[in-house]
Structure 1
Amino acid sequence: MSVEPRLYVEAPLEADAVLDLDRDQAHYLVNVMRRKAGDGVRLFNGRDGEWRAEVASADRKRASLQIVQQRRSQSAAPDMALYFAPVKKARTDFIVEKATELGVASITPVITQRTQSDRVRTDRMQALTREASEQTERLDLPVIHEPVSLTQMIKAWDAARTLMFADESGDSQTEPWGGEHGRARPIAEALAGRERDGKWAMLVGPEGGFSVEERTLLHAQTFVLPVSLGPRILRADTAAAAALSVWQSMLGDW
């Protein structure tokens, strides 16, 4: 079965409109996907649902599309926001890509005391979300926010949004990862019985976890829900994908 290529565009989508693609999209459609006049393409812009279009004209550098009809109406993704401490480039890319695939509504880098990567390219993050949305049948793209410090994030927080955070530490100041006392409940147990509707967010810390001061700050907030992701200490990128998957399964749109 052949699947028509799918592209994100920013222009409004309506029947009979003609859309000129930018150079990169024209190159992808014509030179990579080998589409020619009359071939079908699927389009979405995050507002107007998904539409079928046909290639009206194409050469190596340019392509225009004739929009034909709407295939799917716009629908909202679950209201889940991801906040994460940036890690190494490849692992940050993984987090952004998988978070998009898992349906998050927005992604925000958070600078913590132990964050090792302080250079964040939001333009690259936007490109990754675009590609992942095109490939996974999403009708929208996550909103990418500029980096914010953890303290700034907490000060500006909307208390109506529940913030889960992957709390893998105990309370001890001498034992590895804080020992066993004071550990958070397993994520499935913490989410059990919660209402499906509501505003949520997930916070994943840096390599090495949150500092004692940061963990204390988070625990002091009434909107924070500490959760454990199991008996093993997960890498930050694995933790993000694991936590979002459990939440989607229990309270999201799976």
Structure 2
Amino acid sequence: MRAGARRRRPCYGPAMPATPAWPPASTPRLFVDTPLGPDAAPVVDGAAAHYLLHVMRLKSGDPLLLFDNRSGEWLATVADAGKRALTVRIERRMRAIEAVPDLWLCFAPVKKARLDWIIEKATELGVARLQPVITERTIVERVKRERLEAQIVEACEQCGRTALPALAEPVKLPALLRDWPEDRALLFADEAGGAPFGTVDAPAPAAILTGPEGGFTERERAALLACPAVRRIALGPRILRAETAAVAATALWMAQHGDWGTAAGKVSPEA
């Protein structure tokens, strides 16, 4: 190159625009209680349709993600957007149904807002089964199943779960212990003390039991400790609210034996 000559920059042509992610991260995600598959054309109506049409402003051709608690998660597009319902077209399956750790959360029902919080967080954390337990000091003995089911669905839609946790009917503590399966460890969170959680080896299948606001009675404690499957645990040096204990114990188990690490827990046959 002679002196003073300008170095020519290589010409690569105009920059190509990046291909946008599909489906977009903002794509609505919805549970539908109907089998999904390549040939399915589900209709979304009711409150879900109102949300999609009037809040999310979906129109024909827009994407959405559906899961059915049977086959996994599917990408779909709106085929027809009416005033009160949407017909969608299934495009392809995005994920198979997940394998959740085989952990049950047995808990005494508490007041409405706190109960909703337990259901929401336990679902997000990945429990396989939710079991309300009526104890001697349980204040709330009747639970509205429809409201709890709605909380479960909403939590699954938000956190990306493809398998809804099973919701059992409330049962009294003596009946729970009488019919308890021998092969499932029952981690009894006792406010009176117990072994530190990290020292108790209880992989799946397992369950956690937390009590009501007033704790367990001495008669209930004696019945629990007489059950061969029960392992008494402590949740730290402080007294926790009932809802805090349920979520804390679930998180500790998931970190130790669940799917938060490299090894996934045993798959629940109900999931």
- TM over 0.5: same fold? yes
Question: What CA distance in whole angstroms lies between the structure 2 residues aligned with 1:12 and 1:147?
Answer: 28
| Cα shift at 1:114 | 0.4
Tell me, yes or no, if structure 1 residue 217 matches structure 2 residue 223. Answer: yes
Q: Equivalent residue for 2:256?
A: 250
User: Equivalent residue of 1:124, what SS?
Assistant: helix
Tell me, yes or no, if structure 1 residue 121 matches structure 2 residue 161. Answer: no
Moved more, 72-81 or 235-244: 72-81
Instruction: Say if 2:72 and 2:96, in contact at 8 Å, map to a contact too.
Output: yes
- Aligned residue identity for 1:229: L
Superposed CA offset, 1:9-54 (max 9, x none):
1111111421111322111111111111101010111110110000
Instruction: Say if 1:8 and 1:43, in contact at 8 Å, map to a contact too.
Output: yes
Question: What CA distance in whole angstroms lies between the structure 1 residues aligned with 2:26 and 2:95?
Answer: 16
Instruction: Say if 1:122 and 1:145, in contact at 8 Å, map to a contact too.
Output: no
Q: Equivalent residue for 2:10?
A: none
Matched ranges for 1:44-83 at <5 A: 44-83=67-106
Q: Equivalent residue for 1:147?
A: 170
- Aligned residue identity for 2:144: R
Question: What CA distance in whole angstroms lies between the structure 1 residues aligned with 2:57 and 2:221?
Answer: 53
Work out which of the residue numbers 108, 113, 116 in structure 2 matches 1:85. 108
| Cα shift at 1:75 | 2.3
Tell me, yes or no, if structure 1 residue 97 matches structure 2 residue 120. Answer: yes
Q: Is there any run of 5+ residues in structure 2 with no aligned partner, and where?
A: 1-23, 261-271
Question: What CA distance in whole angstroms lies between the structure 1 residues aligned with 2:83 and 2:196?
Answer: 54
User: Equivalent residue of 1:56, what SS?
Assistant: strand
User: Equivalent residue of 1:18, what SS?
Assistant: coil
Instruction: Say if 2:109 and 2:133, in contact at 8 Å, map to a contact too.
Output: yes
Work out which of the residue numbers 200, 204, 208 in structure 1 matches 2:206. 200
- Aligned residue identity for 1:231: P
Runs of 4+ with >3 A deviation: none
Instruction: Say if 2:98 and 2:161, in contact at 8 Å, map to a contact too.
Output: no
Using the size of structure 1 for normalisation, the TM-score is: 0.91
Question: What CA distance in whole angstroms lies between the structure 2 residues aligned with 1:217 and 1:58?
Answer: 57
- Aligned residue identity for 2:170: P
Instruction: Say if 1:16 and 1:68, in contact at 8 Å, map to a contact too.
Output: no
Instruction: Say if 1:112 and 1:206, in contact at 8 Å, map to a contact too.
Output: yes
| Cα shift at 1:126 | 0.4
| Cα shift at 1:59 | 2.4
Equivalenced residues, count: 237
- Aligned residue identity for 2:200: A
Q: Equivalent residue for 1:36?
A: 59
Question: Which of the two has higher C-alpha Rg?
Answer: 2
Moved more, 231-240 or 9-18: 9-18
Instruction: Say if 1:31 and 1:60, in contact at 8 Å, map to a contact too.
Output: no
User: Equivalent residue of 1:216, what SS?
Assistant: helix
The percentage of counterpart residues that share the same residue type is 48
User: Equivalent residue of 2:42, what SS?
Assistant: strand
Q: Is there any run of 5+ residues in structure 1 with no aligned partner, and where?
A: 170-182
Q: Equivalent residue for 2:233?
A: 227
- Aligned residue identity for 1:88: K
Q: CA RMSD in A?
A: 1.1
Tell me, yes or no, if structure 1 residue 189 matches structure 2 residue 212. Answer: no
Question: What CA distance in whole angstroms lies between the structure 2 residues aligned with 1:247 and 1:2?
Answer: 30
- Aligned residue identity for 1:185: A
| Cα shift at 1:87 | 0.9
